[in-house]
Amino acid sequence: MREQRAGSWPITDDLPSLREQVYRPAARTGLEGQRLEDLVLAFSEAASNVLEHAHGRGSVTVWHSATDVVVEVTDHLGRLTPGHRHRPRSPLHARSGYGLWLMG
């Protein structure tokens, strides 16, 4: 698989533009429908967590091949880690905590 970097951008509060920058290369790989929407939603949650918990200090990098896409969100403060993707769902009455579960 020959990967190409589609781009790398800082996380900003312009989430609509960032979602579009993730959507376009993912769609070019053939990802569509619910899987594409789920990828963009998971990215948006990760970016929102960077804005809220890491003071906006983070970046997104998108890599793709003809058939695969990787979206890497980096929290420059180190608060969002790969281990967070296995977080159990929060109770239904919880005010927050669904973002990390959703990303998983």
Q: Per residue in 54-93, pLDDT tens?
A: 888 999 999 888 888 899 998 888 776 767 667 777 777 8
Q: Which parts of the chain are beta strand (E)?
A: 4-10, 58-64, 69-75
Domain boundaries, given as residue ranges, for the chain: 4-103
Separation between Cα atoms, residue 100 and residue 25, nearest integer Å:
24
More confident residue, 1 or 33: 33
For the cut 80, the answer to whether the pLDDT of residue 3 exceeds it is no
For the cut 80, the answer to whether the pLDDT of residue 11 exceeds it is yes
Separation between Cα atoms, residue 16 and residue 81, nearest integer Å:
24
49's torsion region: left (phi>0), alpha (psi -120 to 50) or beta?
Answer: alpha
